[in-house]
């Protein structure tokens, strides 16, 4: 891997927004006709700036040797759930690696940082969602130990 993973700062939020915008365009646009592709540009700066300084969230950027953003990961903690009171969950909310850098270890480095952060937070479980048709993402997550837990089904009306 010829990249470095760093925690995002308020100054790096524009790079986080750019990576999230690419994720929406690459993944959401192909798989969800209701996805608001303008959300990262419109709401992302405030959303990611808030997350970047919170202790209950994780904002990572993967940077190339030249310093350009080639990926990101957003992790959050889930609030206590009265139906699962013993579960302390770290949720991998968003992750992307630039297509030119996939298969080089960047995604693994981001995921490893996320797992370490979740353990430090005291999580006993981590979760992630992926579009059912995103086979490469599902393979990647399964390779990191994620297994199916819930299944959401949608139908047009």
Query: Which domains can be identified in the chain, with CATH numbers?
Result: 3-143 (3.40.630.30)
Question: Order of strands, edge to edge, in the sheet holding 89-97?
Answer: 3-7, 57-64, 69-77, 89-97, 125-128
The token pair that represents 157 in the structure block: 């009306």
Query: Is the Cβ–Cβ distance between 50 and 31 less than 8 Å?
Result: no
pTM of the model: 0.94
pLDDT band at 80 (very low <50, low <70, confident <90, very high): confident
Helix (H) or strand (E) holding 127: strand 125-128
pLDDT digits 0-9 by tens, 85-134: 999 999 999 999 999 999 999 999 999 999 999 999 999 999 999 999 99
Q: What is the Cα–Cα distance from 45 to 18, expressed in whole angstroms?
A: 10
């Amino acid at each position: 891997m010829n990249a470095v993973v760093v925690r995002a700062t308020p100054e790096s939020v524009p790079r986080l927004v750019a990576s999230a915008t690419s994720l929406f365009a690459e993944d959401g646009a192909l798989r969800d006709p209701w996805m608001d592709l303008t959300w990262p540009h419109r709401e992302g700066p405030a959303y990611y700036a808030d997350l970047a300084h919170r202790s209950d969230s994780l904002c990572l950027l993967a940077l190339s040797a030249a310093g350009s953003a080639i990926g990101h990961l957003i992790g959050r903690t889930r609030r206590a759930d009265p139906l699962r009171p013993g579960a302390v969950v770290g949720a991998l909310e968003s992750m992307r690696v630039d297509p030119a850098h996939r298969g080089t270890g960047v995604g693994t480095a981001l995921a490893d940082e996320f797992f370490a952060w979740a353990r430090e937070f005291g999580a006993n479980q981590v979760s992630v969602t992926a579009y059912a048709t995103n086979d490469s993402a599902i393979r990647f997550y399964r390779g990191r130990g994620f297994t199916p837990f819930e299944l959401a089904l949608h139908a047009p009306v």
